[in-house]
Chains A and B, each alone.
Chain A
């Protein structure tokens, strides 16, 4: 066990955990955040996605000690129910959810890639989503929401 400080959604927290603990468990169990989810636990589905220095990463396999002083942003960190982020609004406008368990992976992967490459082609967007799953298959609405965000962002 070790005392580890990390900055999440603007706040600094100190937790007492094994440094090898996956970041996901710290976020969900210690900080009781609801955005990142345990999906597969082996970085194959995307449900645990968070953003680290603007890039989407899979928190279920990343030891918390790797985070160091990089800020972690989760799904609840980019917008709130009172003021959703434009990409969350695009998903609302398209009604792009069924069970909604996958949304951290979908929304944060899209945000991260479009922040880095605002003019991403459809092929590049598809490429970014090869390892992201939605088992309710809300694909149509999600892809429309991503395009809507991309167009608004431009």
Chain B
């Protein structure tokens, strides 16, 4: 079991400050919604140092974080951070993560925001720096030596005269009882001893030996097993439930129906699984689903909610006066999170309180949702994070936590719910389908004179956040409304550029009035995002919309370069102004031994296996990590198969906390991006989703000819730390598609690049 560390003492000190987040924020597709990731007031006051750090009686440093380890290495990196600032080895740090009773409310662990939030000059990093300075000040007082003549090492503070005192003696079981000091000085990266080192992820030994506790392994005394029965289609309502259909199943405890939520509880998991399979539920019919074949046209016929991100007002004129105008439209399907482990949670809901062991990325928002679902007071609901299978965004972690709570409340016993893979495939919050229309005018010198982009995405539901349990399937079935899109015309952009979804291509100046927040020099620019209602739930999937938009922008940039017969790297560089994206692009192309010439490759044969190289780059969310990738691929024109052989990925994420963890994220990201580019797609017929297992939703297995991945880490100690886990994945589809064009002259504008699509593109190539 996860240690349930009581923080009653901290709670007493910090008072019962509960702030309501109930004011409904207007739906904003630009913020699509990685959820709130900043630090919020809760019972555990983030302004107080004691909310973040304590010195244990054994000399250990106890730290509390609201950013949890989902397999991306946050536990290790944050442990390094605390160790660094407190000048102790990592073995002395005990980091507790994501528990509404013990850790500060840091919203959601998502959006590549954990590093920016906790590794710069706020939150955990600032608390740790404050603690070190406070300990030095206490030692100065005790030893009678000025603080600047003291040094800390291994939990001992020493003066030059040899006098010394330990952290434990200084604090002696007391609290710091001070606020986090925004002026406390972080240890400079040049002086780092623990941060910046390739520390092996601290969970690995337990993982490799099968002793790690996942949420799937949580056992609570008296626990029984639940399964859910999902409607065949989103929006279907229960007509009737025939309980007699399962009465013969031994061990059955209860069939639970609440509004349109249906589940079963049994003594054993196998019994619950059989009951869920056997239960006869009649669902009221709903209108047929839109045709998948025409879906990308259908999207563009719907009333939309529009945002203009930039509009220089001169785009139409510039397009008219251009020497040539290029247009292309790109298509991206719905994709699933497809965690290898179907989601699981355990809930113990009693008459007046509840504890939920959950793989959620957002213990506090989920606590709010659970309070709403169970009707219990917020403060009586405790959500304890226990890691699930890698989630890559909003998989079914939140919804299964809701499932477990509803079933536990109905039977008044602790209930473990294991979803099936099919449960998750048919009703999870998919990554959005997108249609992106691109248009540029090129001047006589071959430079881009004007860029016009319209990016369509679809939306239903989202992260539940603090006040929208209906944004995931269970909440909606239980009677809460999901967020839908209210159509609205765009207004002219004001304020600063908001490019959190990479809707604005990096080559644009991104000017609103006098302020230019883009990464490039094109000043004649218009970028419109349009969001329409989705027939399926949607939500953040690793690099949400940033990946889809970047696929379009970077493929289109390649098309433009080819049209003007320019080298794709040099042509990009001519339109970029931001040194950080320029540097990663140069670094990746140099490392890849890039042969500067236009694409397609001259003299590439029309038959037999051919090879080519392609490039893509991104300033993630405009300024949250910079990356460029070169892909080398082989294409078999007979089978239509694409075989990536090598990726070179350069990355700049500011000061690097853990190079090993960063490489792991780059490697996994580029290969997951490859799987999404080559094979992954949600499919449906007129009644239901048809991609329901690993035979119908296609992913690249381990048994592929794994390409070489070379990661080039550009350390920038002077810059702020940025996110890293969503950068390389963003580049895969465009880099591969561009390499296919280089090899064959065939352009791929629709993900995934299935063999049929490749053959079709080859058939129509120039």
A93-136 CB mask vs B (1 if < 8 Å, else 0) is 00101111111101100000000000000000111111111111
CB–CB A95/B216 < 8 A: no
CB–CB B211/A136 < 8 A: no
Within 8 A of A (CB), among B269-319: 269-271
Instruction: State in angstroms the CA–CA spacing of A88 and B211 once bound together.
Output: 12
CB–CB A95/B701 < 8 A: no
CB–CB A143/B706 < 8 A: yes
Q: 6 pairs across A/B with beta carbons < 8 Å?
A: A18-B271, A21-B270, A40-B693, A75-B210, A84-B205, A136-B390
CB distance from A21 to the nearest CB of B (A): 4
**A150 at interface (Cβ–Cβ under 8 A)?**
no
The one of B72, B208, B418, B675 that contacts A91, using a Cβ cutoff of 8 Å: B208
Looking at chain B's contact residues, the main secondary structure is loop
**A14 at interface (Cβ–Cβ under 8 A)?**
no
CB–CB B701/A103 < 8 A: no
**A28 at interface (Cβ–Cβ under 8 A)?**
yes
The one of A33, A76, A95, A104 that contacts B200, using a Cβ cutoff of 8 Å: A95
The one of A18, A102, A129 that contacts B270, using a Cβ cutoff of 8 Å: A18
In the complex where A75-B209, A143-B702 touch, is A38 in contact with B344 (Cβ < 8 A)? yes
**B668 at interface (Cβ–Cβ under 8 A)?**
yes
CB–CB A29/B269 < 8 A: yes
CB distance from B696 to the nearest CB of A (A): 10
CB distance from B395 to the nearest CB of A (A): 10
Instruction: State in angstroms the CA–CA spacing of A131 and B201 once bound together.
Output: 27
In the complex where A17-B268, A99-B71, A135-B390 touch, is A88 in contact with B209 (Cβ < 8 A)? yes
CB–CB A41/B420 < 8 A: yes
Instruction: State in angstroms the CA–CA spacing of A128 and B703 once bound together.
Output: 7
Chain A: CB-nearest residue to B692: A42
Task: List the count of A-B residue pairs having beta carbons below 8 Å apart.
Answer: 195
**B559 at interface (Cβ–Cβ under 8 A)?**
no
User: Which chain B positions have C-beta within 8 A of A133?
Assistant: 340, 694, 699, 701-702
User: Which chain B positions have C-beta within 8 A of A29?
Assistant: 225, 268-269
CB–CB B390/A126 < 8 A: no
User: Which chain A positions have C-beta within 8 A of B439?
Assistant: none
Instruction: State in angstroms the CA–CA spacing of A17 and B102 once bound together.
Output: 39
Chain A: CB-nearest residue to B390: A99
Instruction: State in angstroms the CA–CA spacing of A138 and B704 once bound together.
Output: 12
B667-681 CB mask vs A (1 if < 8 Å, else 0) is 111011011000000
User: Which chain A positions have C-beta within 8 A of B693?
Assistant: 40, 42, 44
**B188 at interface (Cβ–Cβ under 8 A)?**
no
In the complex where A28-B217, A81-B209, A92-B208 touch, is A98 in contact with B421 (Cβ < 8 A)? no
CB distance from B442 to the nearest CB of A (A): 38
Chain B contributes a number of interface residues (CB within 8 A of A) equal to 62
The one of B204, B205, B270, B341 that contacts A101, using a Cβ cutoff of 8 Å: B341
A1-36 CB mask vs B (1 if < 8 Å, else 0) is 100000000000000011011100100110011111
**B338 at interface (Cβ–Cβ under 8 A)?**
yes
Instruction: State in angstroms the CA–CA spacing of A75 and B213 once bound together.
Output: 13
CB–CB B694/A45 < 8 A: yes
Chain B: CB-nearest residue to A9: B210
User: Which chain A positions have C-beta within 8 A of B208?
Assistant: 75, 79, 84, 88, 91-92, 97, 100, 103, 107
Chain B: CB-nearest residue to A139: B706
Given A37-B216, A81-B209, A129-B703, 20 new contacts (CB under 8 A): A29-B269, A34-B210, A37-B341, A42-B693, A84-B209, A92-B200, A97-B201, A99-B390, A125-B703, A129-B701, A130-B703, A134-B340, A135-B339, A137-B667, A137-B675, A137-B700, A138-B664, A140-B667, A140-B706, A141-B667
Chain B: CB-nearest residue to A104: B210
Looking at chain A's contact residues, the main secondary structure is loop
Instruction: State in angstroms the CA–CA spacing of A42 and B660 once bound together.
Output: 34
Instruction: State in angstroms the CA–CA spacing of A75 and B453 once bound together.
Output: 51
CB–CB B213/A34 < 8 A: yes
A74-93 CB mask vs B (1 if < 8 Å, else 0) is 11110111001000100110
Chain B: CB-nearest residue to A85: B209
In the complex where A97-B204, A140-B667 touch, is A76 in contact with B209 (Cβ < 8 A)? yes
User: Which chain B positions have C-beta within 8 A of A40?
Assistant: 340, 342, 421, 693-694
**B212 at interface (Cβ–Cβ under 8 A)?**
yes
The one of B70, B203, B667 that contacts A138, using a Cβ cutoff of 8 Å: B667
In the complex where A47-B341, A76-B211, A136-B390 touch, is A126 in contact with B667 (Cβ < 8 A)? no
User: Which chain A positions have C-beta within 8 A of B418?
Assistant: 38
CB–CB B705/A97 < 8 A: no
CB–CB A98/B675 < 8 A: no
Instruction: State in angstroms the CA–CA spacing of A142 and B339 once bound together.
Output: 18
**A39 at interface (Cβ–Cβ under 8 A)?**
yes
CB–CB B72/A98 < 8 A: yes
Chain B: CB-nearest residue to A22: B270
**B587 at interface (Cβ–Cβ under 8 A)?**
no
CB–CB B270/A103 < 8 A: no
In the complex where A32-B217, A130-B703 touch, is A99 in contact with B268 (Cβ < 8 A)? no
CB distance from B370 to the nearest CB of A (A): 23
CB–CB B268/A126 < 8 A: no
User: Which chain B positions have C-beta within 8 A of A99?
Assistant: 70-71, 340, 387, 389-390
CB distance from B83 to the nearest CB of A (A): 19
In the complex where A99-B71, A104-B210 touch, is A135 in contact with B703 (Cβ < 8 A)? no
User: Which chain B positions have C-beta within 8 A of A22?
Assistant: 270
User: Which chain B positions have C-beta within 8 A of A84?
Assistant: 205, 208-209
Instruction: State in angstroms the CA–CA spacing of A80 and B211 once bound together.
Output: 8
Chain A: CB-nearest residue to B337: A135
Instruction: State in angstroms the CA–CA spacing of A25 and B723 once bound together.
Output: 39
CB–CB B250/A100 < 8 A: no
